[in-house]
Amino acid sequence: MPTGDMKLIPITLSLLLSSCALRGAVPTDPGPTHARWSAGFSELQVSHPPFQTVHANWKDRRQVPYVYLEIRGIQADREAMIPILQHELEEQGLVADGPPFCLFYDIPDVPPTESSNSRVCMPVHREVKTLAPLEFGVLPSTTVAYGLASGVSSDVRKAWTGIFDYVERQNWVPNGPLREIYLVVPGTDSNPADLLSEVQVPVRSAH
């Protein structure tokens, strides 16, 4: 390698490290517990049951292509569908591009309680062809209000109200399906205290 190129290596490494630092250096509500899997290098404090205080902020979400299983019925066990979804991905030779998530499609302008129309999803790198029962969709890039919550999904849904309160304080309104991302995937032997989810609400101005 030429001597001139060797001299550039320390400079290049320094620039790369500076870039990485800048991507993660926007703490909004720092605290002792932080997400380790959250997209966007979030430093938002995790909210815990019983969710008397819910920490929330906003960010711009990139476009997300995904495959999914359509779910109907308020009694559906969505977490139990995640292994089925993962199995279908393997059978069809598809590769996940992040943690699984659920989309809730009930009335987007009021805080939901339990949705009768939802999807269990897995992000993928790009548009893909799927075979039944899998289908393909794309979440558009948009601004989202979000929070990080610990506990099982039935507890996490108690945190939704706090996210919607934050949306209202910003003079925004929901603008799409609520997204619940399982940063730690639920399992039959999971310790509820170890489970972590990110809740996203797409938003737009109320005016």
How many structural domains are present in the chain? Answer: 1
Residue 158, domain extent: 26-205
CATH of the domain at 199: 3.20.80.10
Confidence of residue 189 (pLDDT cuts 50, 70, 90): low
Phi, psi for residue 199 in degrees, rounded to 5: -105, 125
Q: What share of the chain is helix, strand, coil (3-state, %, to 5)?
A: 25, 30, 45
Q: Which of 189, 173, 200 is nearest to 38 (CA)?
A: 200
Asked if the structure places residue 117 within a domain, the reply is yes
Mean pLDDT, residues 40-59: 86
**pLDDT tens per residue across span 58-107:** 999 999 999 999 987 655 677 788 999 999 999 999 999 999 999 988 75
**pLDDT tens per residue across span 144-170:** 999 999 998 888 888 999 999 999 999
Q: Is the pTM higher than 0.85?
A: no
Q: Rounded CA gap, 98 and 21, in Å? A: 22
